[in-house]
Amino acid sequence: MTKRLTCDVVVVGAGMVGAACALYAARAGLGVRLVDRGPVSGGTTGAGEGNLLVSDKEPGPELRLALSSARLWAELAREHGPAFEYEPKGGLVVAPTPDALAALREFAAAQRGAGVTAVPVDARQLTELEPHLAPGMAGGVHYPQDAQVMPALAAAHLVRASGAALHTGRTVTGVLRTRHGTVYGVRTDRGDIHAPAVVNAAGTWGGGVAALAGVRLPVLPRRGFVLVTEPLPRLVRHKVYAADYVADVASDSAALRGSPVVEGTAAGPVLIGATRERVGFDRSLSLPAVRALAAGAVGLFPFLRRVRALRTYAGFRPYLPDHLPAIGPDPRAPGLFHACGHEGAGIGLAPGTGQLIARALTGEASGPDLAPFRPERFDTEGGDVR
C-alpha cells in the first residue's frame, strides 16, 4: 500500500514559478512538497532564455510585479552569488526609424512614471553601448534594470534553498476535494499527498491542473524558438531587441510573429529569439520561424552572418487571453491557489509571484495586489465546470 504523505502546501510544477512559490512559502514557515511529472525545469523554464525584464511591460499590474520581482532577484543574487549566472546587464531597445523612435520614447516616458529607469540614447550612444550593432539606427532606450539568469540553474537553486520535499517523476492525476468542495491535497500516480492548500504552478499545463479541480483556467501554449550560437564572449553586451518586440508580446494573433531579440550569456553563446505562434503542443521544427530568427538577428548585428548556430530549441509559453498571469486563491475551489499563465515572463516574475502566493497562503495578501490576477476572471458564466 502506498504511503499517504502530508504537508501544509503542495506545489504542482517544479519550474521557476513553482520553485519560487516553494521558497517563499517555506520562508513563511509552511511545510512544502513540490511535485512534478518530470525533472526540475523540465518544461517551459528549461526552454527559456532567463530574461528578467521591465523594458517590455507597459504601466500596470504586470509592470508593478516585474519591478517587485527585479528587487527580489537582486536579493536572491546576493544570497547565492554567481551560482545561477545572474547578470544585471541591462536591456537596449532600438528603433530603426525616427517614427519608431518617437513611439518608443513615448512608451518609455510612461514607464518612467511607473518607476522604470528608461534612458533615451541617440544613434551615437547606441554604438557606444553596442559597438557591433548595425549602423543606421535612429536611436533607442537603455533599461539598466533588465537582467538575466541561467533559468535551469536558478530554479534548481531556489528549490534547494526552499528545503521543500521534492517529488519528481510523479504525475498529478487529481485534486482532492471534500463533498463541500474544499481542496485537501492531490492524487498522484504514486499515491495521495494531503495538504490544506494546493498551488497550481504547472505553467503551460496549468489549465489541465485546474480542470482536475473542476475549475476553468484557459491557459494555452504559445510556441517559441531560440537559436544558440557558438561562444562569442561579450560581443553582445546587453539584451538587445527591436521596438516592435513589445507589440508582438501583446499580440493575440495565433499566427507566427517574430521580432529580433539578441543577447549574450555568461557562458559565451548568444541567444537569438523571439517567435510566437499558437500551434498547440507541436514541437516540430519550423523552418520559417528559425529563418525569421536568423534574419532578424543579422539585421541587428551583421557580424552574426558569419557565425555558426549550434542548435535551436522550442518551448511553450503559458498564454492567457488578457496577457496577465493567474495568481492567488480560487474561490471556486477553496484551498486551491494558482500561479501560472505568465506567458514569456515567468522567469522574471517568479519571485514576486512566489511572494504573493506565500502571503495569500498565510492570509497576508491584500486585495489590490491580487485583484488584477484573479483566477476566476475568465468565468463569464459565473461557475465552475463540474
Residues 200 and 114 in one domain: no
**Does residue 62 fall inside a structural domain?**
no
**Does residue 280 fall inside a structural domain?**
yes
Coil, strand, or helix at residue 11? strand
**Does residue 341 fall inside a structural domain?**
yes
CB-CB contact of 353 with 65 (8 Å): yes
Per-residue confidence (pLDDT) for residue 248, from 0 to 100? 54
Residues above pLDDT 90, as percent of the chain: 83
**Does residue 79 fall inside a structural domain?**
no
Residue range 73-107, pLDDT digits in tens: 999 999 987 889 999 999 999 999 999 999 999 99
Name the pLDDT band for 2 (thresholds 50, 70, 90). Answer: low
What is the mean predicted confidence (pLDDT) over 8-35?
A: 98
Last residue of a domain, one of 293, 318, 343: 318
250's enclosing H/E stretch is helix 245-250
Number of domains observed in the structure of the chain: 2
For residue 227, give its domain range.
Answer: 90-144+220-318
Q: Which strands make up the sheet holding 191-194, listed edge to edge?
A: 5-6, 191-194, 183-188, 172-177
Name the pLDDT band for 274 (thresholds 50, 70, 90). Answer: confident
Residue 381 scores a pLDDT above 60: no
Share the mean pLDDT of the chain.
92
Residues 237 and 298 in one domain: yes
Cα distance between residue 143 and residue 266, in whole Å: 19
What is the mean predicted confidence (pLDDT) over 174-183?
A: 97
Per-residue confidence (pLDDT) for residue 234, from 0 to 100? 86
CB-CB contact of 262 with 240 (8 Å): yes
**Does residue 383 fall inside a structural domain?**
no
Name the pLDDT band for 352 (thresholds 50, 70, 90). Answer: very high
**Does residue 67 fall inside a structural domain?**
no
Sign of CA dihedral 213, 219, 223, 226: negative
**Does residue 345 fall inside a structural domain?**
yes
Per-residue confidence (pLDDT) for residue 70, from 0 to 100? 97
Residues 226 and 314 in one domain: yes
Indicate which CATH number applies to the domain containing 123: 3.30.9.10
Residues 364 and 234 in one domain: no
Residues 336 and 275 in one domain: no
Residues 228 and 302 in one domain: yes
